[in-house]
Structure 1
Amino acid sequence: MRVLIMGTPVSTHFAPMIPLGWALRASGHEVLVAGQPDIAGAAHAAGLSTAIVGDYFDALEPLTANLPDGKRPIEVGRIRVRDGHWDAVNKIWLIHCRYMVSRYLEFAREWRPDLIVSDPLEFSALVVGGVLGVPTVSHRWGIDPSGNPGQEMARRTMGTLMGRIGLAELPRPALVLDPCPPSLQVPEAPASQPERYIPFNGTGSLPDWALAEPRGRRICVSFGRLTAALNGIPLFQTVIDGLSQIEDTETIVTLEPEYRDQLTSIPDSVRVVDPVPINLFLGTCDAVVHHGGAGTTLTSCAFGLPQVVLPGVADMFVVAERIQQVGAGRMLDEAETQNDPAAVRDAVRAVLEDPAHRKSAEQLRDEIKEMPTPADVVTVLEGLTA
């Protein structure tokens, strides 16, 4: 098969499809990633070839527009989406589709794929598949409250565009792949084909400190690359201050070098390190504090670690809720508690000391191990094009 992988121009939306790309190539299929330059780096780091379509897309712009200096979105009541109201977020990807779909169609007509795999919010992939008459598979990136509502919104509002292209409506995916353990997925998500999550958080070198014996219980703090850029350094400091109050612990904080001098203090029990793929060292950790990103959440689940989630934007609040609801961790989803070192300390201490949290986290790990591998899923995909 010639498989075209498409994705919205956000590397964290694209990354969960990488292990499937590896499995397709290992099975002898041709794989090409088509997208804007924003995801090219992640694709190349994973060893996947790309076709650049369109220009850069600044995913930060909708989040930073008119954001007051020194304030995080949660502190001004913005970008907190929950309770099923996803149109405000998904409208971004609807507009994105309208100006990208013709470019993707032009490219796909020349490359002629047999199968398309895409994240749920790249609506152009469904259009391309419909026009070319090839199956399109939606690949969720994890806990996914927005993908199906987004496609239904596009189906309601894109009638005129579909008519011009020659389609009756936005086509539906031939299959939905889901790397999220079923018990953790939002209950309203439509039925899907499970696919085991394979931890991949980019490439890097195993640091020397990861091989050293931890100085007590080791806590990983990873807020991705977005939090710091959204005025989040005070949040890093709050978490550092709170965790330094927990006895017999060592805290590993990943943070880009350009933000380090904004930290006011780093206690002896805290090690601030350059960003490194967390799957390289989570096996040495006892708990994870993070922002609710899909990759960090599922990687923590794959290692069976309890989590404390401090969400900041969009579906991260739903991620935090689901982790808490299944018992695998705690959430701090209000600015007041996120800015309180004592609240952070108490939440982390709870997941470290309450065996129920670890038991639930280990159940998620075991559930992931029972899911079909990407290699198993390749056989399913081959059946779609037979």
Structure 2
Amino acid sequence: MRILFTSLASYGHVYPLLPLAVAARDAGHEVVYATASEFHPTLEKAGLEPAAAGLTMQEAFGRLFAGDTRSRKEIPEGELNEAIGKAFGRLLPTQFMTDLAPVLAERKPDLVVYEMGNPGGAFAAGQAGIPAVGHGFGRVSSGGPMDRISEQIDAFAAEAGLTGSSRLFWGHPFVDICPPSVQAPEFVAGARRVPLRPVGWSEPGDLPSGIEGRDRGRPLVYLTLGTTPASQAHLLTSALQGLASLDADVLVATGPAVDVAALGEVPSNVRLEAWVPQSELLPHVDLVVHHGGSGTTLGAFGAAVPQLVLPQGADQFTNADAVVGAGAGAKLLGDELTADAVRETAGQLLADGAVADAVRELAAEVAAMPSPEEVAAQLPQYCSGRGS
């Protein structure tokens, strides 16, 4: 069977699809993965054949704000949300739809698996008459800019001939990597969910020295604010200062958007790393402090790690709500995010037996979900007899 996977070009959108794409390839299917060329080296490291399609998010917003010299903080929230809606609901889908048409015509896949942030994959498949399956990257969220995106996508979908709502992915089967207990209840009730265990994906690499075999009597706290430009140094500094005063070791993944020099001197119990293989690291961690990205949130669920969430935008706020609602951690918002609050809240989470019980229950729920290999074996049934 020939399968084309497609997603937006960012770590949080590419990585969640890789376990199923690799499992499908290993099962003997011919797999092509279409996204912007910036992520082609990542796909090649995973042993997947890349195809060029779409724009990066930076390119999309560069077009929307061409010639605008304002910083992100200077753009009014309403204007920014409108731009986000246009970028994800119209500009990116249009470009992917255009670029995927010749790829689909040449490759003639039996099935398209499109990431939920990339509806252009669904539109292109629909126009080509190819069966499609959606694939999530986390919890299905609403509110704020997410509603603007949905409005734009629904209008575009109607033009492309798809009926129904983007909230339920037009009735397509949907590979859902979010544990149902923390997924949006209305989505669980209405969607054609295909459960898939959230298997973390990291590019090959070694854990920082001393992590494996360390003394588990002293807590290890992992701090990350992700890979996007929202990961600003001042936020990382506040969180770092609070965690450094704990009787714990602190490992900070600074990511590509932060100048490590801007963080200045750090205490002896703090370690800075530009990059870590997060999926391999999480089982060694006692607490993760993060921005609320879906990959980190789901990874912590699977590794039974409490979470302190410091959301900054997009779906991070609803992810934080899900963590708190499940009893698996806490959140700090806006002016609450001070070094003192981080220290106090992190200390409480490390000592809270009820939180420890909650994260173990979530990890058991994740472990019971079907593996990528099991879901890959189901994919042929969604091809409507188009061949193998």
Structure 1 CA distance for aligned equivalents of residues 148 and 375 of structure 2: 25
2:249 is aligned with 1:250: yes
2:227 is aligned with 1:225: yes
1:255 Cα deviation (Å)?
A: 1.7
1:274 Cα deviation (Å)?
A: 2.7
Instruction: Look up the SS of the partner of 2:226 in the other structure.
Output: coil
Q: How does 1:89-104 map to 2 (within 5 A)?
A: 89-93=84-88, 94-104=90-100
Instruction: Look up the SS of the partner of 1:129 in the other structure.
Output: helix
Q: How does 1:315-330 map to 2 (within 5 A)?
A: 315-330=315-330
Structure 1 pair 317–88 and aligned structure 2 pair: CA distance change class (3 A): farther
2:209 is aligned with what amino acid?
Answer: D
Instruction: Look up the SS of the partner of 1:5 in the other structure.
Output: strand
Residues 91-116 of structure 1: CA distance to partner in whole angstroms, max 9, x if unpaired?
A: 31222222332221122111100000
Instruction: Look up the SS of the partner of 1:33 in the other structure.
Output: strand
The farther-off stretch of 231-240 and 318-327 is 231-240
Instruction: Please name the residue that 2:110 is paired with.
Output: 114
Structure 1 pair 220–319 and aligned structure 2 pair: CA distance change class (3 A): same
1:198 is aligned with what amino acid?
Answer: V
TM-score by length of 1: 0.86
Kept in 1: contact 2:9–2:55 (CA 8 A): no
Instruction: Please name the residue that 1:6 is paired with.
Output: 6
The farther-off stretch of 53-62 and 366-375 is 53-62
Structure 2 CA distance for aligned equivalents of residues 343 and 76 of structure 1: 28
1:77 Cα deviation (Å)?
A: 7.7
Kept in 1: contact 2:126–2:162 (CA 8 A): no
TM-score by length of 2: 0.86
Instruction: Please name the residue that 1:156 is paired with.
Output: 155
Structure 1 pair 384–301 and aligned structure 2 pair: CA distance change class (3 A): same
Structure 1 CA distance for aligned equivalents of residues 178 and 147 of structure 2: 15
Structure 1 CA distance for aligned equivalents of residues 176 and 339 of structure 2: 36
Instruction: Look up the SS of the partner of 2:170 in the other structure.
Output: coil
Instruction: Please name the residue that 2:306 is paired with.
Output: 306
Structure 1 pair 80–316 and aligned structure 2 pair: CA distance change class (3 A): farther
Structure 1 pair 45–245 and aligned structure 2 pair: CA distance change class (3 A): same
Kept in 2: contact 1:10–1:59 (CA 8 A): no
Structure 2 CA distance for aligned equivalents of residues 107 and 173 of structure 1: 24
The farther-off stretch of 171-180 and 151-160 is 151-160
1:210 is aligned with what amino acid?
Answer: I
2:132 is aligned with 1:132: no
The farther-off stretch of 185-194 and 3-12 is 185-194
1:204 is aligned with what amino acid?
Answer: G
Kept in 2: contact 1:219–1:286 (CA 8 A): yes
Instruction: Please name the residue that 1:240 is paired with.
Output: 240
Residues 133-181 of structure 1: CA distance to partner in whole angstroms, max 9, x if unpaired?
A: 2211110101121589856642334544x3xxxx465883530110011
The farther-off stretch of 215-224 and 348-357 is 215-224
2:196 is aligned with what amino acid?
Answer: E
Instruction: Please name the residue that 1:376 is paired with.
Output: 374
1:200 is aligned with what amino acid?
Answer: W
Structure 2 CA distance for aligned equivalents of residues 6 and 121 of structure 1: 10
Structure 2 CA distance for aligned equivalents of residues 141 and 21 of structure 1: 14
Q: How does 1:344-359 map to 2 (within 5 A)?
A: 344-359=342-357
Instruction: Please name the residue that 2:207 is paired with.
Output: 206
Structure 1 pair 213–300 and aligned structure 2 pair: CA distance change class (3 A): same
Structure 1 gaps, min length 5: none
1:131 Cα deviation (Å)?
A: 2.2
Structure 2 CA distance for aligned equivalents of residues 325 and 89 of structure 1: 27
Instruction: Please name the residue that 1:179 is paired with.
Output: 177
Equivalent pairs, count: 369
Residues 321-370 of structure 1: CA distance to partner in whole angstroms, max 9, x if unpaired?
A: 11011110000122x122x1100011111110111111111111100011
2:288 is aligned with 1:288: yes
Structure 2 gaps, min length 5: none
Structure 1 CA distance for aligned equivalents of residues 206 and 69 of structure 2: 35
Instruction: Please name the residue that 1:278 is paired with.
Output: 278
Structure 2 CA distance for aligned equivalents of residues 209 and 310 of structure 1: 27
Structure 2 CA distance for aligned equivalents of residues 175 and 197 of structure 1: 17
Structure 1 CA distance for aligned equivalents of residues 22 and 174 of structure 2: 18
Instruction: Look up the SS of the partner of 1:208 in the other structure.
Output: coil
Instruction: Please name the residue that 1:21 is paired with.
Output: 21
Stretches (4+) displaced over 6 A: 64-69
Kept in 2: contact 1:145–1:188 (CA 8 A): no
1:41 Cα deviation (Å)?
A: 3.2
Structure 1 pair 230–149 and aligned structure 2 pair: CA distance change class (3 A): closer
1:48 is aligned with what amino acid?
Answer: L
Instruction: Look up the SS of the partner of 1:106 in the other structure.
Output: helix
Kept in 1: contact 2:84–2:148 (CA 8 A): no
Residues 42-99 of structure 1: CA distance to partner in whole angstroms, max 9, x if unpaired?
A: 322322110113555416947x967977xx85x9884999xxxx87644312222223
Structure 1 pair 261–59 and aligned structure 2 pair: CA distance change class (3 A): same
